[in-house]
């Protein structure tokens, strides 16, 4: 199995902490930073081909990559300052297939979430997005609507809170069947120079043509990091989960 980690952004909301360092390289325990933890989980669970899409402060990844037990590939997004992660996702179009799990880099996850994704990849060839349908969504959540078959019909932060199934957590798989629609939708957004959009917008706009299903995180723990408050929460979660990693 393969994995692609999106780690190109500036993460300006974290201020001085990310001025010269990618967000995913911030320490979350005394032993690990975010990217190290996510690489550990992926490798531990059988992912043997991993690519990191870098951008801001890409040099910071070199030492981390050199310590890994497997070869880690990188792709450099030279337009990370001008374009949102829609372009980061577009850069992986040539290596993306249904054997690939995509992760945002700013996540602290309970290991069971990786296992849920792994099991889904092995049992079905369909596209899926992991959805937290246990916790309350808010205005900042990347919310999703689904139909009666759990097929995702919308994914957007602006969706109605009450109608939303839950929050997309930043872990997905795109099937070989859906890949052309996904790429075409990203290309259309980029051609219109809507550079501030996310790859989720590409899925949202192509949802009628794609067959992306919502897969529950089953209440397993996770958090993403955008702000200093998020970072404090992530460090507390990582501390509580550190025993599972045996590091």
- What is the set of domains in the chain, with CATH numbers? 2-245 (3.90.550.10)
- Whether 236 shows a pLDDT value over 90: the answer reads yes
Average pLDDT over residues 119-143: 96
User: DSSP label at 25?
Assistant: G
**Residue 245 has what pLDDT?**
60
Percent of the chain surpassing pLDDT 90: 96
* Residue keyed to tokens 């997309």: 168
Average pLDDT, integer, range 194-214: 97
* Dist. CA 10–CA 38, nearest whole Å: 19
63 pLDDT above the threshold of 60: yes
How far, CA to CA in Å, does 208 sit from each of 40, 151, 153, 179, 184? 36, 10, 7, 14, 13
- Give the torsion sign (CA, 156, 101, 39, 81): negative
| Confidence check: pLDDT of 228 > 50 | yes
Supply the pLDDT for residue 246: 57
pLDDT of residue 247: 47
78-115 confidence digits (pLDDT tens): 999 999 999 999 999 999 999 999 999 999 999 999 99
Cβ 107 vs Cβ 168: under 8 Å: no
Bigger pLDDT: 245 or 27?
27
- C-alpha 106/C-alpha 158 separation (Å) is 21
- Residues 153-178 pLDDT 10s: 999 999 999 999 999 999 999 999 99
Q: What is the pLDDT of residues 125-134, one digit of tens each?
A: 999 999 999 9
Question: How far apart are the two ends of the chain, measured CA to CA in Å?
Answer: 24
With both helix axes pointing from N to C terminus, report the angle between 228-245 and 111-123 in degrees, rounded to the nearest 10.
Answer: 80
pLDDT in tens, 179-190: 999 999 999 999
Is this structure's pTM higher than 0.85? yes
**Chain segment 13-59, per-residue pLDDT in tens:** 999 999 999 999 999 999 899 999 999 999 999 999 999 999 999 99
User: Average model confidence (pLDDT) for the chain?
Assistant: 96
Question: Which residue do the tokens 């337009």 mark?
Answer: 79
Among 183, 172, 186, CA closest to 217: 172
Instruction: Please state, for a pLDDT cut of 70, what percent of the chain lies above it.
Output: 98
Task: Report whether 3 contacts 102 (CB < 8 A).
Answer: yes
CA distances from 38 to 5, 48, 64, 141, 197 (A): 9, 13, 12, 21, 25
């Amino acid at each position: 199995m393969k994995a692609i980690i999106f780690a190109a952004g500036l993460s300006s909301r974290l201020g001085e902490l990310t001025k010269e360092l990618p967000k995913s390289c911030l320490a979350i325990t005394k032993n690990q930073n975010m990217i190290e933890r996510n690489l550990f989980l992926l490798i531990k669970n059988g992912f043997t081909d991993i690519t990191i899409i870098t951008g801001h402060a890409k040099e910071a990844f070199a030492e981390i990559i050199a310590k890994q037990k497997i070869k880690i590939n990188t792709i450099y997004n030279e337009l990370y300052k001008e374009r949102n992660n829609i372009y980061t996702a577009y850069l992986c179009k040539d290596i993306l297939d249904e054997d690939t799990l995509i992760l945002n880099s700013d996540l602290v996850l309970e290991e069971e979430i990786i296992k849920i994704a792994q099991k889904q990849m092995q049992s079905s060839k369909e596209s899926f997005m992991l959805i937290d349908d246990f916790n309350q969504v808010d205005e900042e959540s990347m919310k999703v609507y689904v139909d009666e078959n759990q097929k995702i019909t919308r994914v957007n932060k602006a969706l109605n809170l009450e109608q939303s199934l839950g929050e997309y957590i930043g872990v997905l798989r795109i099937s070989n069947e859906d890949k052309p629609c996904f790429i075409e939708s990203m290309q259309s957004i980029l051609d219109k120079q809507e550079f501030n959009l996310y790859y989720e917008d590409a899925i949202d706009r192509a949802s009628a043509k794609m067959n992306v299903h919502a897969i529950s995180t089953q209440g397993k723990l996770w958090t993403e990091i955008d702000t200093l408050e998020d970072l404090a929460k992530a460090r507390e979660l990582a501390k509580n989960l550190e025993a599972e990693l045996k590091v």
